[in-house]
Structure 1
Amino acid sequence: MASSPLLLSSALSRNPNSGLSIRRRRHGALATTASSEEDHSTKLVTFLGKGGSGKTTSAIFAAQMLLEPLHLLKKADAELNITQGVLEGVVGEELGVLPGMDSVFTLLALERLVGFLGNLGRRNLRKDKYDIIIYDGINTEETLRMIGVTSRARLYLKYLRNMAERTDIGRLAGPSLLRLVDEAMSLSTRGSNLNGKMSSEIWDILERALERGSSAFGEPREFGCYLVVDPNNPASVSSALRYWGCAIQAGAQVSGAFGTASPHSDVESEEIVKNFSPLPFALCPHVPMGSLPDWNAIISSNPSEDARNLLSAPASSSSNVMEPVKFDPSKKSVSLLMPGFDKSEIKLYQYRGGSELLVEAGDQRRVIRLPPEIQGKVGGAKFADRKLVITMR
């Protein structure tokens, strides 16, 4: 049985009255209070990897490195209130969690700390500001579904709005649907700001909020996503490459990859670095099990230097990573970065008269909107160098 992940909250040295709280729940996050009173975006950091590859260890390493010195550790179940109060006023026995809804509620909980949805969730934000939140999900598949929630919700919203505005039944049911959305936002964000607005305004607000949420996962300044791999385990390497492709499908940009060092070697192999090129790669130091780790010694050791540099790298350094989508009007083609997949695993669909491509792979679907000069019918597709190159005609 998998152990429950951790929720951590830590104070910086400038605020000795704040503390580090830890509790066990179905998902975990680490939050650090902001070092400035100015309003600025909070960065969310998470790790993707096969179970047993060191994903949670890497998250703790990042927390120790980013949040030292740690002053206080205490029980604080109500500190961030991530799993309580989301549905206040609803009798718990009345409702169960629908299949696949776990990731939605996880995202809503993180929204209370990060503010993915902008003005829509502003009333729900705590007065505390955070620089970084490190999230260690229950498993990588669930984290990927959480990342892709806003992108998928945008598609549903788009079609619901079309139906509500262009059909008789939609115009009849639309106001009731929007009232339901308003009530849901009131429950999940403790006070929606949709009340009293016209239907068209509410649709626009929801659309902008979801667009803001989906774009945040593709912005390295707001979201740091790292792969974790056991270099000595081929299955772990294969899974990490696939998670790279799945993260791209979900709308995220991967910032780098970490390998977990073995007890007898802390030297990265050229082959493993090549496997994840052009992503920056670093080894996390080996953390012995069975005893309380000396994190001060681990963080300050030479083998930790590359990992520290990767975690501390500015977001601008991510510009060297290959673009997930690249259009070539001269060849009337589009290249999709799809690491971890082969051609047989990828399904292509075409809609809207050739203006959009729907790419399905790795339990994720992604809509590619084609520029006018490339639009047309698919003429062919080939897979090379981790890229699916689609030629239009």
Structure 2
Amino acid sequence: MPQILTFLGKGGSGRTTVAIAAAKQQANLGRRVLFVSQDPTPATGILLGVPLTDKPQSIGANLEVVLISATVAIERGWEEVKQIEARYLRSPLLRNVYGQELAILPGMDSAIALNALRQYDASGKYDTIVYDGTGDLTTLRMAGMADSLSWYLRRFVAVVEESDLWRTVAPIMQPAIAAIAAIAWTGESGVSAPMQEANSFLAKSQAVIGNPQRVAGYLIATEEPVAIATAKYLWGSAQQSGLTIGGVLLNRGTVTEAISSEFDPLGISAIPTRVGTDWQPLIDAMPDFSQAVMAPKPIAIDIPKREVRLYLPGFDKTQVKLTQSGPEVTIEAGDQRRNIVLPPQLKGSSVTGAKFQNGYLIVSF
């Protein structure tokens, strides 16, 4: 299965340049690489030396590039929904609404990008996928989307199942959900059975995000204090999304003891300034991305000690809030919220204590 790499950092810190260098490094190692961009402007294409399109195209040995276009993706998806509706309604309601007319609402870009990455990941064509997204909280919310959707499913399945509205739209929604979520519909009445399958699908997605052998993020910083502070904030926020941060790439700077202490225990690689079209010095400076597994994990559950440990670097105890409602514990840190599903051995237990120590939130039950 491929490893997906993404990069986080302040705008202007050189995320795209570093991402391209990482893709080139992986290709030079003989891995089949797909570089995925969400930038519709010509900037990324100029760096790559070829205009990006919504179809993967080869730009060298082992290296393909593609642009995720939200407008193109929503047009295709809408046509599929209309075809499904037409099979179940004598007079389809959506036939006169065209995908070209649809506006991209906030959040759609992330959902479209996540679905595209899922499809490229499942294609079996690539060993490494380098995702050059926005590199900020939007990317992290995309990483945590499976966790968020799973929470909504758990909470609202019973409400939906009892509604008259569901009984009306079920003949259309069932195959639509099956097509969009890539799950098999069992044909059973109600929503519990398919939603359980959907939850299983989301749980697998969460497991992939939480496995640094499959998905890893890297922080991009410069020597500027603002860039360092932003990278540290995104580090802690990434942990809330379940995304492991494998290391730091210091762009156009020198690694000092002071900078190392800011990101301890992560390894830091100094990335030189690119000169003209010579990418080799940047390629040579790239870290071993397979070592992301050595980085601190976002969460660890110690059942014998009845403890949950969350690693939240970049935050202090005044920025972290813990609440418990029913069987789950919710952690708020910065602008991110994470719901923790306790294992069966701790399920139903109340929180007996919590402390913030050395970047870890330690919750006792």
TM-score band, normalised by the shorter chain? 0.7 to 0.9
Match of 2:295 in 1: 321
Post-superposition offset of 1:176: 2.6
Shift of 1:280: 2.2
State the alpha-carbon separation in 2 of the partners of residues 391 and 380 from structure 1. 5
User: Is 1:169 the counterpart of 2:163 in the alignment?
Assistant: yes
SS of the residue aligned with 2:142?
A: helix
Question: Given the alignment, which residue of 326, 341, 347 partners 1:369?
Answer: 341
Cα separation, partners in 2 of 1:335 and 1:96, compared to 1, 3 Å: same
- Could you tell me how far apart the structure 1 residues matched to 2:125 and 2:102 are? 32
User: Are the equivalent residues in 1 in contact too, given 2:251–2:273 (CA < 8 A)?
Assistant: yes
Match of 1:136 in 2: 132
Moved segments of 4+, more than 6 Å: none
- Aligned-residue offset at 1:215: 1.3
Name the counterpart of 1:49. Answer: 9
Aligned position for 2:238: 247
Please list every run of 5 or more consecutive structure 2 residues that lacks an aligned counterpart in the other structure. Answer: 31-47, 57-66, 83-96
1:383 to 1:220, Cα distance in 2 relative to 1, 3 A: same
Gaps of 5+ in 1: 1-40, 116-124
Match of 1:152 among 148, 151, 169: 148
Superposed counterparts of 1:102-121, under 5 Å: 102-115=109-122
Residues 243 and 175 (structure 1), Cα distance of their counterparts in 2 relative to 1, 3 Å cut: farther
Calculate percent identity across the aligned residue pairs. 32
- The number of aligned residues is 314
- Counterpart AA for 1:169: S
Does the 8 A contact of 1:48 with 1:240 survive in 2? yes
Partner of 2:310 in structure 1? 336
| Secondary structure of residue in 1 paired with 2:119 | helix
Q: Name the residue aligned to 2:363.
A: 390
Structure-2 change in CA distance of 1:296 and 1:373 (3 Å): closer
2:103 matches 1:96: yes
Output the amino acid matched with 2:232. Answer: L
Matched, 1:222 2:224: no
Verify: 1:296 aligned to 2:288, yes or no.
no
Residue 323 of structure 1 aligns with an amino acid whose one-letter code is K
**8 A Cα contact 2:141 2:241, kept in partner:** yes
Is 1:360 paired with 2:336?
no
Q: CA 1:360–1:78 in structure 2 vs 1: closer, same or farther (change >3 Å)? A: closer
**CA distance change for structure 1 residues 94 and 197 in 2, over 3 Å: closer, same or farther?**
farther
- With over 3 angstroms needed to count, the CA separation of the structure-2 counterparts of 1:185 and 1:108, relative to structure 1, is farther
- The structure with higher relative contact order (CA 8 Å, sep 6+) is 2
Distance 2:304 2:2 in 1: 40
What is the Cα deviation at residue 243 of structure 1? 0.7
Would the aligned equivalents of 1:257 and 1:279 in 2 still touch at CA under 8 Å? yes
Aligned partners of 1:333 and 1:374 also within 8 Å:
no
Match of 1:272 among 259, 265, 272: 259
Does the residue aligned with 2:127 lie in a helix, a strand or coil? strand
Pair 1:151–1:330, CA change in 2 (3 A): closer
TM-score under structure 1 length normalisation: 0.70
CA shift in 2, pair 1:163/1:60, >3 Å:
same
Q: CA deviation at 1:235?
A: 1.4
Cα distance, 1:174–1:256 mapped onto 2, change above 3 Å: farther
8 Å CA contact retained: 2:243, 2:298: no
The CA deviation string for residues 165-217 of structure 1, in whole angstroms up to 9 with x for no partner, is 5xx327x625735732532554x58xx66456325542233122111112111
1:57 is paired with a residue whose SS is helix
326 and 223 in structure 1: CA distance in 2 versus 1, 3 angstrom threshold: closer
- Which residue does the alignment assign to 1:197? 187
Superimposed CA distance per residue, residues 59-106 of structure 1 (whole angstroms, 9 cap, x where no aligned partner): 011022122399x96556242474322333561355333332221111
- Tell me the distance in 2 between the aligned counterparts of 1:241 and 1:95: 37
Q: Which residue of 2 aligns with 1:59?
A: 19
Q: Does the CA-based 8 Å contact 1:332-1:374 persist in structure 2?
A: no
Cα 1:159–1:68 shift into 2, 3 Å: same
CA distance in structure 2 between the aligned counterparts of 1:320 and 1:272, rounded to whole angstroms: 20
Contact 2:216 2:292 in 1 (8 A): no
Q: Which amino acid aligns with 2:279?
A: W
Q: Per the alignment, in what secondary structure is the counterpart of residue 87 of structure 1?
A: helix
Residues 126-178 of structure 1 deviation map (CA, whole Å, 9 limit, x = unaligned): xx61111111113412211111111101111112323345xx327x6257357
